[in-house]
């Protein structure tokens, strides 16, 4: 079967193609990107837990041993962030880093934010409810998680406007085909973002405050601490991961609700009871992070297919979440779905560390928005951005009915 993950039509609606992939070629090797595309839930779930696969491979074999060209030195600022981040590490480094970060980024610290997130959501909505029209992304979904994660980390208010452009530029490198201009921007953003956080971390080390940067700088377990590079990389990871996907779950999910008025009115009429399952369904139905890669660390014979050491798998999360073998009526938006083991936060050792925070933010955002705005309509059909891995809308402009 022919499959082009860069085709515009596919990026607009990947779900029809995913369905064909699952039925015809659940393991598809695409020579141009040199990737194995895996589309069924059962396989993605099993492979995410398989320790013969990993997010990095260079702890096992050098690039030259793998027949890969040496790293391009222009990417050094980006590579330095990756090399010190738990996101791109495997055990034992991953276990050590994740354990240290978890000690500072505790469930209690997250739960303590609940009342504050409600205040932020209400104050953003105070500005919206007086108007007849709003871009719900720009006015609400983007600022909310940015303010939350910036406050959590302790980024001064005057600097917060720099976070979103930096992180936006950096995550463009996770796309399958980024342009040279995008690469240049990402490298520059990685350098500036890291320099800024290094400067802030040094200030917090000298005069700690009650914020996550100070807590990460102080964290210690069994004599282990975070190095300055690891501290900087962790903050960048939390700032990037902490809002890009949250914004897109909200935007994609609100669009789905606006296109399914029966589900919207069911939710409005049972707001408190249905918000938790509605948020899970928003995460499943139009997945914000469509694909994650894994390196093959040793040869694997999986269901008769041989994945060779040094190859990469592209696990199609968006496809797994629409697999009819796992979900009842997967193409239907059902906000009452209780059996919903979506894969949106991943599985295995890299399972999203911020899932409790993301869930809390999204539940508060959705409930507050629908409580404060009793009726709204799409002003026009919004367009998806041109990216594929990160799936999200350009804008979401609605008319607010009086």
Q: Residues in the site for ligand HEM, rule: CB under 6 A? A: 55, 86-87, 98, 149, 237-238, 241-242, 245-246, 249, 288-289, 292, 344-346, 350, 352-354, 357-358
In the chain, the N- to C-terminal Cα span, in Å, equals 51
The residues facing 397 across adjacent strands are 135
What is the token pair recorded at 8? 């515009």
| Nearest by Cα to 81 from 234, 264, 204 | 234
| Nearest by Cα to 384 from 393, 376, 397 | 393
Residue ranges with strand state E in 117-208 = 133-135
We find the least distance from the C-beta atom of residue 390 to ligand HEM, in angstroms, to be 10
We find the least distance from the C-beta atom of residue 147 to ligand HEM, in angstroms, to be 13
We find the least distance from the C-beta atom of residue 87 to ligand HEM, in angstroms, to be 4
Tell whether omega for the bond before 92 is within 30 degrees of 0, i.e. cis.
Answer: yes
Q: Which long-range contacts (CB under 8 A, 24 or more apart) does 58-61 make?
A: 59/89, 59/90, 59/93, 60/297, 61/309, 61/310
Residue whose CB is less far from ligand HEM, 233 or 263: 233
Residue whose CB is less far from ligand HEM, 309 or 347: 347
We find the least distance from the C-beta atom of residue 134 to ligand HEM, in angstroms, to be 22
Residue whose CB is less far from ligand HEM, 121 or 289: 289
3-state helix, strand, coil in the chain (%, to 5): 55, 10, 35
We find the least distance from the C-beta atom of residue 130 to ligand HEM, in angstroms, to be 29
Q: Decide: 146 and 390 in contact? Cβ < 8 Å.
A: no
Residue whose CB is less far from ligand HEM, 293 or 394: 293
Q: Decide: 149 and 360 in contact? Cβ < 8 Å.
A: no
Residue whose CB is less far from ligand HEM, 134 or 344: 344
Residue whose CB is less far from ligand HEM, 96 or 198: 96
We find the least distance from the C-beta atom of residue 148 to ligand HEM, in angstroms, to be 8
């Amino acid at each position: 079967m022919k499959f082009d993950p860069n085709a515009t039509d596919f990026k607009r609606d990947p779900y029809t193609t995913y369905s064909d992939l699952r039925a015809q070629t659940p393991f598809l090797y695409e020579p141009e990107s040199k990737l194995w595309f895996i589309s069924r839930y059962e396989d993605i779930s099993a492979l995410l837990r398989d320790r013969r696969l990993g997010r990095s491979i260079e702890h096992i074999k050098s690039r030259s041993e793998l027949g890969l060209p040496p790293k391009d030195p222009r990417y050094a600022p980006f590579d330095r962030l990756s090399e010190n981040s738990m996101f791109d590490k495997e055990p034992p480094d991953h276990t050590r880093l994740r354990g240290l970060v978890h000690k500072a980024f505790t469930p209690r610290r997250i739960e303590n934010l609940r009342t504050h997130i409600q205040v932020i959501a209400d104050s953003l909505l105070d500005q919206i409810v007086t108007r007849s029209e709003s871009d719900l992304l720009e006015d609400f979904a983007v600022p909310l998680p940015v303010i939350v994660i910036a406050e959590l980390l302790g980024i001064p208010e005057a600097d917060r406007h720099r976070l979103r452009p930096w992180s936006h530029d950096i995550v463009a490198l996770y796309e399958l085909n980024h342009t040279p201009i995008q690469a240049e921007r990402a490298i520059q953003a990685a350098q500036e973002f890291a320099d800024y956080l290094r400067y802030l971390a040094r200030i917090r080390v000298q005069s700690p405050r009650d914020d996550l940067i100070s807590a990460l700088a102080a964290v210690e377990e069994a004599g282990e601490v975070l190095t300055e590079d690891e501290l900087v990389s962790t903050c960048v990871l939390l700032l990037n991961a902490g809002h890009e996907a949250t914004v897109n779950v909200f935007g994609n999910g609100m669009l789905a609700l606006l296109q399914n008025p029966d589900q919207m009115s069911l939710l409005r009429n049972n707001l408190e009871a249905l918000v938790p399952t509605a948020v899970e369904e928003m995460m499943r139905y139009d997945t914000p992070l469509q694909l994650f890669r894994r390196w093959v660390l040793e040869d694997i014979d999986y269901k008769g297919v041989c994945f060779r050491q040094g190859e990469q798998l592209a696990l199609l999360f968006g496809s797994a979440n629409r697999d009819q073998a796992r979900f009842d009526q997967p193409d239907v938006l059902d906000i009452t779905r209780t059996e919903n083991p979506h894969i949106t936060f991943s599985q295995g050792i890299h399972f999203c560390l911020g899932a409790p925070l993301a869930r809390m933010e999204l539940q508060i955002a959705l409930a507050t928005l629908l409580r404060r705005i009793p009726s709204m309509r799409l002003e026009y059909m919004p367009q998806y951005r041109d990216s594929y891995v990160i799936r999200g809308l350009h804008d979401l402009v609605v008319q607010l009915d009086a």
